[in-house]
């Protein structure tokens, strides 16, 4: 990845952490893992069909109050490792900044955005229900063991 993209990624991550009030180390790798309960509750079909989709789904997850954990993955910042050209990179960067602004405006009730317009409490309830079910299943497996 060219140096300008690395610097831009670091800058955008800094801005996103401020606007979304998170402490993530990276928003732009493209590697994501979401629970099925979270995906069932988020209207991700309303998100962009472009690179900024990733940032919109993170904004939705933050809006829903989902826990976000990070799993490290190796990243190579080599020229041939990047599939996005300069023009699309610039468009992506502005899309990320727009998503951050939209999240804050939506959160504070200044303006509504279709992809952020859902019931966070319903998503949280779904996440809690899934966590309870997973915990019960784990306990059942533990008690079913012969050494149990």
- Tens digits of per-residue pLDDT, 55-84? 999 999 999 999 888 887 776 666 666 667
| Residue 71: predicted pLDDT | 81
Residue with the larger pLDDT of the pair 40 and 30: 40
Residue 51 is given by DSSP the state T
The CA-based diameter of the chain, rounded to the nearest angstrom, is: 61
Assess contact for 64 and 124: CB atoms under 8 A: yes
Handedness of CA 104, 105, 108, 112 (dihedral sign): negative
- Best mean pLDDT range from 71-75, 101-105, 120-124: 101-105
Does the pLDDT of residue 148 top 60, yes or no? no
DSSP 8-class letter at 29: S
Percent of the chain exceeding pLDDT 70 equals 91
Query: With contact defined as beta carbons under 8 Å apart, do 35 and 67 qualify?
Result: no
Q: Backbone phi, then psi, for 8, in 5-degree steps? A: -60, -40
pLDDT at 80 (0 to 100): 67
Kindly report the pTM of this predicted structure. Answer: 0.83
pLDDT surpassing 80 at residue 130? yes
């Amino acid at each position: 990845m060219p140096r300008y993209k690395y610097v831009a990624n670091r800058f955008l991550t800094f801005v996103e952490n401020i606007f979304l009030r998170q402490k993530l180390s990276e928003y732009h790798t493209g590697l994501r893992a979401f629970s099925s309960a979270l995906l069932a509750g988020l209207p991700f079909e309303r998100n962009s069909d472009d690179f900024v989709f990733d940032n919109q789904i993170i904004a939705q997850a933050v809006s829903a109050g989902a826990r976000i954990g990070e799993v490290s993955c190796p990243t190579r910042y080599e020229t041939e490792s990047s599939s996005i050209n300069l023009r699309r990179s610039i468009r992506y960067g502005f899309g990320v900044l727009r998503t951050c602004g939209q999240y804050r405006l939506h959160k504070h009730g200044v303006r509504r955005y279709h992809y952020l317009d859902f019931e966070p409490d319903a998503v949280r309830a779904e996440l809690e229900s899934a966590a309870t079910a997973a915990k019960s299943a784990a306990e059942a497996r533990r008690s079913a063991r012969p050494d149990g």
